Amino acid sequence: MDASLGKKLDYIIIGAGSAGCVVAARLSENPDVEVLLLEAGGSDAHSDVEDPVKWPRLLRSERAWQYETAPLRHCNNRVDRVPRGKMLGGCHSLNANIWARGHRSDFDGWEEQGCRGWGWSDVLRLYRKSEDWNGVASELRGVGGPLYVAPPTDPHPLATAFVESSDVVGVPRLEDHNGPEMEGAGFANLTIKNGQRHSVVNAYLRSAMNRPNLTVITHAETSRLLIEGTRCVGVEYEHEGTLKSVRAECEIILATGVIGSPCILMRSGIGPEDQLKRLGIDVVFDSPGVGQNLHDHPMIGGINYECKVPMGAPHHNGVEASMWWRSKAGLIGPDIQALLLEFPYATPALADRLPSSNCYTIAPLVARPASRGSMTLSSANFKDSPIIDVNFMASDSDVEVMLAAIEMCRNMGASDAFAPFRKREVMPGKLNRREMIEFIRMSTTTCFHPVGTCKMGVDRDAVVDPELRVRGIKGLRVADASIMPTITCGNTNAPAVMIGEKAAEMIVGN
């Protein structure tokens, strides 16, 4: 055991990401409990992390896990990247700082699937608890919470043009996507304060680290959980080249995200029995849903335009405007999202079509994808990357929604609102249906929102129950975006923070 800690622990949290930082901060508010937070990466102290517009540079740095997908069978067998945060703050130290709660029907849908306590009326309170909203006042918004959230103060003219262009497709303009209505076009909510990234580290963890009952160890990669009988009692992790182990009296909370959490479970003997046996892993509990239900928002990279005037530097995060809408009538919520990117964006397969850096992008995505993939271990060695089969565009319905989204976005891009900027549409251009579907298969990429691999629910494929307790194992919960049964129809960082708040309340009330 790791005797160097010199104290008996009550809780161990694995992963200092969007949810893990929240759980660590909330649990350590009680001075009578000892909390340990393990993070595989290092500090978030870096100029590229602090500057919100530099997030694309972080994606290929040592501050991100450099995962790749298996060949995308329905996207011309291309390989896509799956960068995940590897530092304090996790993906909230890596992402574009967009704060989107999701649509009320997302959470009511979870509750209808048996996840009691996760409906919209339940999670709204938690969102308000986490927020310090600095925008148009609303009873739906929280004020005085840890996390600074605000609209952009000086949006780029291209972002303004995007919002104005929504008129041509009959989409209303909104002041606040997290207000009474989500559907419409408007400026994003951003977790940017005084021009700098305001992540869960700034909002929750940094002050909590001054508490004597919270210990944070960085560069500590978890190899497996320690399980005795049917109870999780501790964690084995590598630190400074040495494998160490540590125990907790109360609970272990796994918060390493959509890739890390199922991998750690499977390496610990919790997962699909046949897969574990094939890798020589002793089966502790046959949980067939571990690693299944993988899905993400497929995004087009992208509808690109050459600008006829110098664009100048991106403002804020370079992604200041967004739109949510429905591809057809009768849906319970939006199934299309689109983002205005103040820079060119294309998949490697199409990047050579971009004429210069003086291009902007409208990037549509499918907000409620039907396609599902899976994630499996490649070996029992925690140093080996897993096999990540995202399976984009496996469902014909996702192709149809993307066709509708592209049409909307191209009409917006061709509108008078963009006339001062638009020199020409670089791609895709006017294509017939067959050609446009081929463009989709060449340009679909991640929106950096993978979820679902430790699904919450009440059926046999559920990995955790609605209390986030791992089925079949005592003393173990999962708290991160992997527990989402279905993806929210917006950027997934805000829901991950909410999941952290929810988990902490459940643990404290246990």
CA 381 vs CA 268, 323, 384: distances in Å: 11, 43, 6
Q: What is the DSSP string of 397-427?
A: HHHHHHHHHHHHHHHHHTSGGGTTTEEEEEE
Residue 385 DSSP symbol: P
C-alpha closest to that of 361 among 300, 448, 313, 432: 300
CA distance 195 to 135: 16
**Residue 375 in contact with residue 387, Cβ under 8 Å?**
yes
**Residue 402 in contact with residue 410, Cβ under 8 Å?**
no
Find tokens 């046996």 and name the residue.
277
Q: Cis omega (within 30 of 0) on the bond before 302?
A: yes
Active site includes 449?
A: yes
CA distance 161 to 98: 19
CA distance 391 to 216: 36
The two tokens of residue 362 are 């409208």
Residue 24's Cβ-side half-sphere holds a number of Cα atoms within 13 Å equal to: 37
CA distance 58 to 64: 7
Phi/psi at 19 (nearest 5 deg)?
A: -85, -40
State the catalytic residues: 449
